[in-house]
Structure 1
């Protein structure tokens, strides 16, 4: 259940405490944390929560209460007082309106964020044309308005997106901000325009102030709002223009050319094809340590203005732009294995398993490798030293191979689907090459069914269809043996699974590492090896080793095992041999004690029902259907699942009603010579001594 926190608890929470409690926080607590963080970042310039964690808090609230009013308050708090429209405030002298609240003519929205290539390429599939790529400056966003004569008449901070703070008088002291635009060419003559960009401080300038201030961004925010005339100039702030709002141009390339011609300093930006988005990110990531300003990610924007207009905006962000944030903690560890996980869509994704390391406050032991190109570029071998990040403090990602493992024998791409053995096919998509099962429909449904069947038979509580499907999609489950290597840290990333629920699932698995032989056999999901036949094999052969060593003749000697069933059981045991081996690495199968010499089949099964199979039909008066099946097993019988030639007894309920389909089928089998007997509920009660 979601829990609310008191105001004092919220104020005292550090990042680690928030990380631990995030899955369980009530909407009120999430909202209070957002308000606290907004105030620290925008107004006090002293944030205590990392950006990736803040993003997760916002997303958590957006999932559970998307209409919460705090989601409209994201960003800087505007000063108190009457809000003045942008068109009206210019009639007041700049020195008299410093700090006044001003309403933007057009909202300055936030950017949607991503922390991995999957989300980035998914975003890029929504539009046509090339993509503008530019650094995400870690500064103060602001709007500049120029009148028809090209004169700067208004500068305002982004604020909460709708309303900002007037900083015109101080913006006039920033050298990179033109006070008068160059009007020749590019259609700027006699046109009032709005330019948006980022105020920032170069690292070389910050060297003069780093003893007094924690970072350039905080100093920039304070300097541009300084109430003392002339003080802003002393901080040598810079301005990066990145958007021209109300000028009708067809392409972002035209916008940047116009900005440069108008007199703005335009930092580096690139236009790339959509299959180069990740490469562009890597380029900026590598350059980050060498450039003279702080950036915290890369911004992507659909380059064609027509596509931007088609995509439109949400109340929070434009759909045509996204920020790919730089990653969280980085560490090196040793690669132990590569698994190939099959998703519900049939995609076969490599998953790196490595010695667990702590990143961004969590223990990480596995990471998806995205696509075949990334897998091949890494050149992975067992024991290799790899560099792992938790991108955005959330998504584990193998960045590179630091050194190969002993022997350096590389892991290979499988030729067959690891889930169903159908041929694996390699296909090229816009965002790289991927491996697919050639028969995904049969493969996926079979694998999900296999996993759900295993959990149900072993009685591992909590792994319903939705949880299993999510775990498959996340690359956590591909085989029943994977249940036993699940970690709470991995499961808690699944939707609606907090740390407590994830730990409960892991505890359930841990509690079912000792499995009786009949249950283990049934859980394998082999055709014709249901509850009845699993009990028969366990009773007859006593140990898993003996069952695995069976031949056809030995099986045919078991009552109820005919030719077709024997063949299916042998084929199934052979096909599951590798799975059984993997399961035995984690599970102890409890064999039955050896039979006493001369003990016959009936004696081997204790109880008055002597190993015979029973099926119920109609309305029972003495007890319910499940209770009746339990009575059969408690008295040494086998609860059957259907009417067939191997069934010993069909029990007809004492309740009134027409003949059931089971009874009609049983009568037909008896006419054909089957030894099946139809008995009443009363006769069954006599057999177990409860009449």
Structure 2
């Protein structure tokens, strides 16, 4: 998959998963199985691991879980409940350990012990005890805010109500689940009584725990296994293994397959044993979780995005199946790319019904010799991404699939840029597919997040000519009277929509920048750019400068491809006109970094040479926590250069420009005193 394809697919996934979240959590009317939903989430995580600079604010990985239901009270977690990055092979696990070694500056002979335990397919929950008494239980929700399920959790026999010898404040994290046998029995009872039949044990556990009436939860066979903790008034131990054993001693159930291993090879052997026993386990699992055992190392490693650097989930391998490719359809995205989608005769793969696959591009269709009606073998890579791996009828005497050379949405010519395999519509703003997709992207949850402007409404208003470009959204108030005269629009709904639009004035500038739909600029890249330039106006001025591409490329996390895309965007007059209109109507707030305020806030720091007491990644993370920007090159705007042994041209340039230079030891003192 190319980078552009990955960005397109991440946007599609964000939209699709958000819709299923609303159906499941707000409307209690899911359209897909829980396992199918999990597969979408895991596909998103796999793509983000491969293209970290394309990570979106509204991705499941960034959001951690799902938004809390409006039917239950909300709880803000004392410490966020984070998700995990995924591994799909033994090499991925070794890479995970190697990354930790590099970050911690460990030698190759330094042992890195890991804990390993099954990853239960349940519902994450946090249990808060104060003075040994259970006072609060919450679901993970979106990782920051969850649902208060305290009365429901009190009905689960596995969960102690009182503790002896526990810290004064103790938050225990774990999974609420339903065993396979209990799930089967529950569904039999539900079917006999004419009630809801659940798709799988995880769905059954989630639906049972999130009941409004605790009596309904009490009638469901829920279980709990502990695997971690949140806020603590005192440590549970110095290692993961010690802390988990402490939880077991306090009375919390811990899976018997939890173990401590001296390194990655031993942990992988345990993974193989668990995979072999998977079918016979009493509950569903979808992999094994590894964590660095030493808690001081976990503290140093910290987090990247919404996941810890010190833990990873090793997923079980792909399962394959055979089916028929019934149709090949072409979708036109907001950037004009023509993406082929394969419509399959539905088939079960690893417990999930698959009916659609992405065929990536014209070259992939040609490589596999795919035609409508072919028998194909598909797999879900790492139980995640449905893909065609083999054409089982390549030699039949039927014509090859003809890839379109004109856009199916507007009829404009469709061509491939030099050096690219992607076919794109040349219609630009005259193409209805692109116009609508750009508008939908602008109002999406990861961008401006405007409630009430769903796809149906955007299509309706676009057909009326009320919305042609994003800035028109902020002028919809002039159509209030006309809206009230339309079917389905009452005064309450019209005013709610206009209020939602008004609430987005003064909104996050990074999300507005992301919402512009600049190629290659995901939400993380948008934040990196604004972390450097502060405002969209300043970014535009830099992009249009004589050395615009070079100045943009110097931003940490922004390479020449992204820099050129931003440069090209702001050199188009109609883009500048639209940005000016958005800045006038939406007036986004200047970007504010989440780093703490110090004397180094807003300063630019460059690290060069060999660092001996820490890795380059750890040093950059320290700079960012001080509110500074870690840049990759020295310029007149650099405030400090930290030079280790072997520093070369960057050190020389710093000296020529009269920039302050510090040793690694001096940098450590700066961090300690800040």
Larger RCO (CA under 8 A, 6+ residues apart): 2
TM-score under structure 1 length normalisation: 0.42
Structure number, greater radius of gyration: 1
TM-score, normalization by structure 2: 0.43
